[in-house]
Structure 1
Amino acid sequence: MTVTIYHNPACGTSRNTLEIIRHAGIEPTVIEYLKTPPSKEDLAKMIADSGLSVRQAIREKGTPYEELGLADPALSEDELLDAMIATPILINRPLVVTEMGARLCRPSEVVLDILPADAFTSAFVKEDGEAVLDAEGKRIV
């Protein structure tokens, strides 16, 4: 299975998502989106494929969201996408794309929705100690 994760290694949710993917026996393509942001078209497609609006996929916390005036409801999705590409920290993370779909994986276990369930055969615990998969690889949360 081909998996791509738009990853920020400084983010615990992103690290947990990456480890869940690897726990499935998949080595994903890892794109550190702060260094290599997606194209506007790719970002728009990932967001749409995730079932989100652009506004739902924009990150507010720890970003210049307010300073850039992005809370203005009159801004179009196109304008918000332009801001996300110009300032990649505004892209909420991690975004994961597989053949089964695309998701904004917040919380990290959302990635389980787009990975084959039979890929998991053992327990998985997140960095903070929260169990995600039981000893048989079945989803707990």
Structure 2
Amino acid sequence: MKATIWHNPACGTSRKTLAILEESPGVEVAVIEYLKTPPTAAKLAQLYRDAGITPQQGLRLRGTDAAERGLPDASDAEVLAAMVAEPVLIERPVVETEKGVRLCRPQDVVREIL
């Protein structure tokens, strides 16, 4: 099975999620450091749709100015545009497999799609 993780190596939860993926037999992991290679708005929209969450639910509030900017109450398009412009606003990690997509907070959520 292939798994893609949108990863931030500075994030403990992201590192723990990646470790679960790497330790899972038969899982081929593709790592995308989203701060260096941000997803497009269309890709983010697809990931959140497939995860069953809104872009607002995928918004990183801690350590960002998202709340001060009113992003939790902004439209999907506005949130996605802000995330593309400033990938630090993307909550991490997001993992995609053939079984689905999850925002893996806590990291054990990734097991649902393995």
Task: Give the TM-score of the pair, scaled to structure 1.
Answer: 0.77
Q: What is residue 112 of structure 2 aligned with on the other side?
A: 113
How far apart, in 1, do the equivalents of 2:104 and 2:96 lie?
Answer: 10
Instruction: Tell me the residue number matched to 1:51.
Output: 52
Structure 1 stretches of at least 4 aligned residues deviating more than 2 Å after TM superposition: 66-69
Alignment-derived partner of residue 83 in structure 1: 82
Deviation at 1:43, TM superposition (A): 0.6
The alignment's C-alpha RMSD in Å is 1.0
Please say if 1:101 is aligned against 2:100. yes
CA shift at 1:63, angstroms? 1.1
| Alpha-carbon distance, 1:70 to partner | 1.7
Cα offset, 1:48, TM superposition: 0.7
Aligned-pair identity in percent equals: 53
Q: Gaps spanning 5+ residues in structure 1: where?
A: 116-141
> 1:54 and 1:79 mapped to 2: Cα distance?
9
Residues in 1 aligned to 2:78 and 2:65: alpha-carbon distance in whole angstroms: 15
Deviation readout 1:33-77 (Å, 9 max, x if unpaired): 001001110110001100101111101001121343324x2x211
Secondary structure of the equivalent of 2:32?
Answer: strand
Distance 1:91 1:40 in 2: 11
Q: Does 1:7 align with 2:7?
A: yes
Q: Which residue of 2 aligns with 1:135?
A: none
CA distance in 2, matches of 1:66, 1:103: 23
**TM-score, normalised via structure 2 length:** 0.94
Alignment: residue pair count = 113
Which amino acid in structure 1 is aligned with residue 88 of structure 2? I
Match of 1:4, SS state, is: strand
The structure whose residues are more often helix, as a share, is: 2
Give me the whole-angstrom Cα distance separating, in 2, the residues matched to 1:66 and 1:47: 19
Do the aligned partners of 2:56 and 2:71 also contact (CA within 8 Å) in 1? no
Tell me which structure has the larger Cα radius of gyration.
Answer: 1
- Cα deviations across residues 81-103 of structure 1 (Å, max 9, x unaligned)? 10111110110100000000000
Structure of greater relative contact order (alpha carbons < 8 Å, 6+ residues apart): 2
1:16 Cα deviation (Å)?
0.4
